[in-house]
Amino acid sequence: MKVLVTGATGFVGREVVRQLAAAGHAVLALVRKGSEDKLPPSLPIEIRHGDVTEAARLADALDGCDAVIHLVGIIREFPGRRITYQRLHVEANGNLLAAAKQQGVQRLVQMSANGTGPEAKTGYHRTKWQAEQAVRDSDLDWTIFRPSLIFGRGGEFVEMLAGMIRSLPLVPVIGDGRYRMQPVAVEQVAESLVKSLQMPQTISQTYLLGGGGDYSYNEILDLTGATIGVQPVRKIHQPVLLMKPVVQLMQNASCFPITSDQLTMLLAGNVCDPSVWAETFGIVPLSYAEGIGACFSEQHA
């Protein structure tokens, strides 16, 4: 198949294009000019310049494609730079659906997020839900994936934790750190997205993706620390009631590490039942404890 990937230069996108090429698909990457060097250099990838926020150019990017894998999304807004959930999740999604219809591209694989739903409490999850609903209301043959927190070598989450653990004498933890997470391996997320293209039974289905175990945030810090040779990980717990107003005041500063939306999602946890996904795609979900070592294997080789 000839498959266009949006968000191809991102953490998940790079793994998706790698697996698409390995599976024998013709890979096209929607890339903004100047970002080409972020793609794996050894892969046979056709570059199509464009931007999902620019509706006029998307139809040309989809010319001749059989399918599209839509990965574009943001975890944090910067309104001053026009980086907002509404623009990147809702409007860009609408642009892509219109372009697919114009070019007769029928197959769409959409990456959403665990926790998305009609009663979502954050702008992130609400706009992801709006995008999902637009996909469901389209005439396309769609499949939606809702992964939990995604981890792997080069991923922002793992790099952030390792950086804090290495550099800080005390790692800050908001609240008691008992909120639970179920990180899912980037390789297994990409595997299911790629496989779904040729699995008709996945059309009009939504899948929850989670790892083989869930852990408290404290446990994830400890597992990460043990992997990079820092034991014990010394933590300092910050009361939630004190941190909420601080976050609200500081969240518009790009140097501040967390926003109110992100704090809400963190405290709510991020777990799911991935059994239907695992059974459908023949995947044995890798746990964070099993997979974290591979994220640093090159450094320890």
**Sign of the torsion formed by the C-alpha atoms of 72, 76, 82 and 85:** positive
Predicted pLDDT at 103: 96
Residues contacting residue 254 through CB under 8 Å, at least 6 positions apart: 78
Predicted pLDDT at 300: 37
Strands 180-181 vs 215-216: parallel, antiparallel or unpaired: antiparallel
Measure the CA angle with vertex 69, ends 298 and 87; round to 5°: 100
Whether the bond between 232 and the residue before it is cis, its omega within 30 degrees of 0, is yes
How high is the mean pLDDT of the chain?
95
pTM assigned to the model: 0.95
Q: Give all domains of the chain, ordered by start, each with its CATH number.
A: 2-150+185-209+272-285 (3.40.50.720)
pLDDT per residue as tens digits for the range 199-236: 999 999 999 999 999 999 999 999 999 999 999 999 99
Residue with the bigger pLDDT between 134 and 257: it is 134
Predicted pLDDT at 298: 60
What's the rounded Cα separation, in Å, for the pair 286 and 14?
19
Q: Side-chain half-sphere of 2: how many Cα atoms within 13 Å?
A: 10
Average of per-residue pLDDT across 92-114:
97
Q: Say how many Å lie between the first and final Cα of the chain, rounded.
A: 37
72 contacts 92 by C-beta, under 8 angstroms: yes
Confidence of residue 299 (pLDDT cuts 50, 70, 90): very low
Predicted pLDDT at 222: 98
Element (H, E) at 181: strand 180-181
Average of per-residue pLDDT across 67-93:
95
93 contacts 70 by C-beta, under 8 angstroms: yes
Closest CA to 278 of 180, 207, 174: 207
- Distances in Å between the Cα of 268 and the Cα atoms of 181, 208, 246 are 9, 17, 19
